[in-house]
Each structure stands twice: as structure tokens, then as C-alpha cells.
Amino acid sequence: MPNLRFTEKALSDWMRGQGNDSDIVISSRVRVARNLQHLPFPLLANPEQLEEVLERLTDIPNQEELQSLGTFYMIKMNEIDSLDKKVLVEKHLISPNLASESPNGAVILNEDESVSIMINEEDHLRIQCLYPGFQVRDAWDRATSIDDVFENHVDYAFDDRRGYLTSCPTNVGTGLRASVMMHLPALVMTQQINRILSAVSQVGLTVRGIYGEGSEALGNLFQISNQITLGQTENEIIDNLHSVVLQMIEHEKNARQHLLDESRVRMTDRVKRSYGILSYAEVMDSKEAAQRLSDLRLGIDLGIIEGPSIAVMNELNVMTQPGFLQKTYGHDSNVEDRDMCRAKLIRETLAIS
């Protein structure tokens, strides 16, 4: 039986920490993509070849080198149902691609869910490390340590000129994607966000929504990540992201101060209205929930209101997603029922926090 405790609770243990600048940076993530030499990449591999990849990679977490970094558990995609897969996606522990298109795939998770090792996703191996707040360098240090362990046991597909070879050409080179999830409500309210994000795109970075490529930036949450993986070293990629994010943090702080200086009463009214609606609403769709929770988080960060802890706010962001609502209330509800369940869950969580 697969270990499903990872889908029973919304909050990953690593999210209880705050990290640097946690009022603006929700989390830092580093992911490296690798493929095994002499085996077709997942998009072209047959089931027998994918099973060989699985066998060769899943024993490595049992090696002493990796055990020194923590206890790991494996979940095979063909052993869990679609709802549990959806919850793992909502917790950012697996990708939508692994959930929907990889029957021969698996994920290896550590105890606090800060490490997620995906097997037979778009690439044979994707190592992801997650940290609270602005700790992208720490996330990189851990990811490269885990990567070194795997490389000691298998040969990677590598080219002297092109670097690590990947299924998607945009990952060739370092195979590195580093990103931070940022809460930028003040830049949105002061209508500076488009200018800032346009500038970000000019320096080799890209902006996505909360669930990556193709997703919407709900609740003023934006994922900032590197776009270039070839022609730069890993440290250069990390340093560039780090530098740009520091500037974005400063812009957001200035915008927040401007809102307080110029329209404190309106800001206070907005925050308290959202808190009231969250506390008493009977029906709430996901878009409104994300916006109201964003207002409440901003109000707490600015000291406008005393509210739930950051850990509770992070938990609500996951608990209000469709998969987790279905998991919590035990049935596949229609949209209206789900909106009622979402409102109920928020009310009850705020009442006890």
C-alpha cells in the first residue's frame, strides 16, 4: 500500500517555517531535470523501458548517502487514485504532467515534504527542493547535494557542449529551474505590476501563476523563475534570480508603504471587509477565496489586523483547492456544493485560529 499520509493534511511541514522576507516571498523552489544515459526519454520510451528507469532510480533513496539527508517514501502513480494525485499537485509535490500522463511514474518524498523526487515525468528524474520564504540558495544547495548522490549511482545523459540533455530544449544545459512564489498585492493595487513583470522578462526570468506554466496568478501570487538554462552556470542563474527578487521585494515594500501613507482608511476597510466575508460567507468560489485571503494576508503583514498565523494562511491556500475539498468532504461535489464547502471550511478554520 502506498503511503497516503501526504494527502491527508494540507500543510506540508516545511511550510510551517517562515524564512527570510516571508511577508512577501511565500516559498523558494529549485528543480533539476536529469535523464539516464542509453535509455529513451519518457516521451519516447515504452513501458518496459520506463519500468527499468523506475527500478534503477527508486533504490537510490535507500543508499546511506541519501539516508543521511532524511527518510524517504515512494508513491507510485499507478497505485493511487486521481483524487490523491490532484491533492499532491495542489500541494506542489508533483506536477500536473506526472499526475495525468505518467502511469509508470513515481514520486519520492521526504518526511517534511520539502524534497520531491519525480520519476518518469517529462524527464526520467526531476529533483525538487522547497523552502519557506526567500531561501533559494539554500534550496539549491540541498538539490545539488541530492543530485550528486544520484549521479554517483547512475550515468546521466550529458553532452560536453550542451550540458545535461532533457526532453524539452528549454531545460537543456544546467537542467535547473529556480523559482520563488511571491505575494505582490500592493504592486497590483498601485498598478505597477505590469511594468515590473515586463522588466523581469528582460533579464532572463519568466512569470507564471501559482501552478506554473499556463496557470493564472490568483490571489496576487506570482511565480518568478529563470528562463535560461543554457550558457550560464547554476550559480549565475541562482545569483540572477536572487538579485532580481531582492529588487521586487523592495518595490513591493515601497508600494505597501505608499498604500498606508496615502489611503490607510481604504486599506483598512478593504482588509476588514474581506476578513468579515471570509468569516461569514455561505458560498465562495475559488477566485474570490484567493483574493479575499490575499487581502487578509496583506492586512496581517501590515499590522492592520490581528489574524491567523502565516502557517494557517498557507494551509488555507491548499485546503480551498478543489481536490482537497473533495478529499475533506468525502464526495465528488458539483461546483455549487464545492463553493459551499469552501466557505464552510474557511469559516471553521478562521474561527479556531
70 is in an annotated binding site: no
Q: Residues 51-61: pLDDT tens digits?
A: 999 999 988 87
Same domain for 272 and 246: no
258 is in an annotated binding site: no
181 is in an annotated binding site: yes
208 is in an annotated binding site: yes
Same domain for 289 and 237: no
315 is in an annotated binding site: no
Q: Residues 267-282: pLDDT tens digits?
A: 999 999 999 999 999 9
Assign 70 a pLDDT band (cuts: 50, 70, 90): confident
Of the candidates 138, 152, 80, 151, which has an alpha carbon nearest to the alpha carbon of residue 109? Answer: 80
- Say how many residues make up the chain: 353
29 is in an annotated binding site: yes
- Residue where one domain finishes, among candidates 252, 272, 293: 252
Q: What is the pLDDT of residue 32?
A: 97
309 is in an annotated binding site: no
CA distances from 130 to 14, 36, 159, 296, 330 (A): 8, 24, 28, 24, 29
17 is in an annotated binding site: no
Q: What is the pLDDT of residue 332?
A: 65
Same domain for 221 and 287: no
Q: What is the pLDDT of residue 333?
A: 66
Q: What is the pTM of this model?
A: 0.91
Q: Residues 287-345: pLDDT tens digits?
A: 999 999 999 999 999 999 998 998 899 999 999 999 999 888 876 668 888 999 999 99
Q: Residues 154-195: pLDDT tens digits?
A: 999 999 999 999 999 889 999 999 999 999 999 999 999 999
Residue 243: other Cβ atoms inside 10 A:
10
161 is in an annotated binding site: no
Nearest-angstrom CA–CA distance, 154 and 37: 8
Which residue do the cell numbers 491533492 mark?
87
Three-state secondary structure readout of 210-276: CCECCCCCHHHEEEEEECCCCCCCHHHHHHHHHHHHHHHHHHHHHHHHHHHHHHHHHHHHHHHHHHH
213 is in an annotated binding site: yes
Same domain for 81 and 169: yes
Which residue do the cell numbers 502513480 mark?
77
Number of separate domains in the chain:
2
27 is in an annotated binding site: yes
24 is in an annotated binding site: no
Assign 1 a pLDDT band (cuts: 50, 70, 90): very low
31 is in an annotated binding site: yes
CATH number at residue 97: 3.30.590.10
Kindly state the average pLDDT of the residues 255-261.
96
210 is in an annotated binding site: yes
Same domain for 206 and 89: yes
211 is in an annotated binding site: yes
Same domain for 263 and 323: yes
Q: What is the pLDDT of residue 249?
A: 97
267 is in an annotated binding site: no
126 is in an annotated binding site: yes
First to last CA, the chain: 34
Of the candidates 93, 95, 98, 125, which has an alpha carbon nearest to the alpha carbon of residue 110? Answer: 93
Q: What is the pLDDT of residue 100?
A: 87
- Residue where one domain finishes, among candidates 199, 223, 252: 252
* Portion of the chain with pLDDT greater than 90, in percent: 72
Same domain for 131 and 188: yes
Domain range holding 278?
A: 253-352
The DSSP code for 203 is: T
263 is in an annotated binding site: no
- Residue where one domain finishes, among candidates 197, 224, 252: 252
